[in-house]
Amino acid sequence: MIKSYKLKRGLANGFIYLVLSVLGLIWISPLVYLVLHSFRDEGLATVSYLLPKTYSFKNYIDLFTDTATLNFPKWFMNTLIVAIFSCIISTLAVLMVSYSFSRLRFKARKPLINVGMILGMFPGFMTMIAIYYLLKAMNLTQTLLALVICYSAGAGLGYQISKGFFDTIPRALDEAATIDGATRNQIFWKIILPMSKPIVVYTVLTSFIGPWTDFILAKIIMGDNRDNYTVAIGLQTMVSLEFKAAYFKRFLAGSVIVAVPISILFLFMQRYYVEGVTAGGVKG
């Protein structure tokens, strides 16, 4: 009986591992193709075979040196600037709003929480046209400042996970600090934040990834101003009909380079990221 149970369990586990392995191969195969062909030396655009015949760094070198028509280094710096400033502003906004909803009690607290939850149900693209005309009225279209404003202005609405994390921190710490004469501001910066490294890291990562990978809103705001393109718009331009034949391999190289900062951040901060998500989901 025991042997039969172990055999069935072994077969079931083997089948599960087989399915997961196949799914893993399917998931990782486009990434492998992307990386391998970013080093492909022969051909222009796509080729009929899977593995390149010759490899070189020419695509990466051309990506950063041949900037007369499509300036990838400038797009990369534009994206980095927008992502960093948006990340800083968004992180501060989310953490402060979350702490306020978690710790403070005021008349408008529950209505504001409900409004934030309702607004979060609507997809962001519904407001893009209205945002464009508002920016146009302020003469901010086709500027990096407009992107920073759009990415960070409504960041406080994403307070749910951070609020759940702050709810898990004992209120006795706040009360003890208040008795010692600390203000709410001092409690937040000197006591709560140093204890909240996981949720801070989680908020930083999510606030950075959004501006780094966004395409639709950036495209609407930037229009045809190539100097202020972000990497998402720039890479899409490389595979347009006008440039695809000459720039497809550079597009592959650029896609690999764009993935590097995010991958490094996750590798070094994944432990805190997971802790922030799990701890923040304990309470609502």
* pLDDT, tens digit (0-9, with 9 covering 90-100), for 101-145: 888 888 888 888 888 888 878 777 778 888 889 999 999 889 999
Q: Do residue 76 and residue 166 come from a single domain?
A: yes
Q: Is residue 48 a part of any domain in this protein?
A: no
Angle at 153 between CA 151 and CA 155, to 5 degrees: 75
Q: Is the pLDDT of residue 75 over 60?
A: yes
Instruction: Let me know: does 86 contact 147? Beta carbons within 8 Å.
Output: yes
Global pTM?
0.84
Write down the pLDDT at residue 284.
44
Same domain? For 18 and 100 the reply is: no
Q: For the chain, what percent of residues have pLDDT higher than 90?
A: 25
Residue 76 covered by a domain: yes
Long-range contacts formed by 122-131: CB under 8 A, 24+ apart: 124/217, 125/216, 125/217, 128/216, 128/217, 128/220, 129/220, 131/217, 131/221
Judge if 16 and 143 occupy the same domain: no
- Going by pLDDT thresholds of 50, 70 and 90, the confidence category of residue 276 is low
Report the number of distinct structural domains present in the chain: 2
pLDDT at 1: 59
Q: Do 3 and 85 fall within a single domain? A: no
CB contact set of 198 (below 8 Å; sequence gap of 6+): 165, 272, 273, 275, 276, 279
| Domain match, 204 and 82 both | yes
Residue 57 within any structural domain of the chain: no
Q: Same domain, yes or no, for 152 and 257?
A: yes
Residues 82 and 202 in one domain: yes
Mark out the alpha helices in 123-243 (DSSP H runs): 128-137, 144-153, 160-167, 171-179, 184-187, 197-213, 216-222, 231-238
Contact 222, 236 (CB under 8 A): no
What's the pLDDT score for residue 277?
A: 55
Q: Decide if 107 is inside a domain.
A: yes
Supply the range of the domain harboring residue 14.
1-28
Assess whether 103 and 228 both reside in one domain: yes
Q: In terms of domains, do 99 and 240 share one?
A: yes
Are residue 122 and residue 18 in the same domain, yes or no? no
Whether residue 242 is contained in a domain is answered as: yes
- Shared domain for 141 and 201, answered yes or no, is yes
Residues 113 and 252 in one domain: yes
